[in-house]
Amino acid sequence: MLATVETNLLGPIRMSSALIDHLKRQPRAAIVNNTSVLAHVPIATSAVYSATKAALHSYTLSQRFMLRDTAVTVQEIAPPWVNTDLIYKSDDPRAMPLDAFIAQTMAALASGREEALVEQAIPMRNNAGPNEHKFIDKFNAYLAANPIPMGS
């Protein structure tokens, strides 16, 4: 659990903090933080992971504001479930194919948008609102009934 916090939250904070003075001296620089759609729609069975991604999303928003008058841009990648070995490469149709994720993410980063979102991530990213809890409960109930395969 602490390793997840160290890696997913403190790692990016420490890395950008260590490099920020150097980045500010460049004519153009970027910080790209990798969060997750789970920052917006947490999985109950991965609560700490989801919480670290939510915290990094919040930090990214603040970091972007603090660097607004510099040459440093701050972008965020918020992937959905992508078919990689990170969780379990199962070719589950719910997972986004890796090549499509890479192509869409690179295009979004190149556009300069603050959030480099692939189409599959947008509905989950946009879930917040008065029915947020119902949306998240429904998502977790679906995953309880249709679990994501873990391990090989």
Q: Which residues are catalytic?
A: 49
Q: How far apart are CA 3 and CA 21, in angstroms?
A: 27
DSSP characters over 3-31? HHHIIIIIHHHHHHHHHHHHHHTSSSEEE
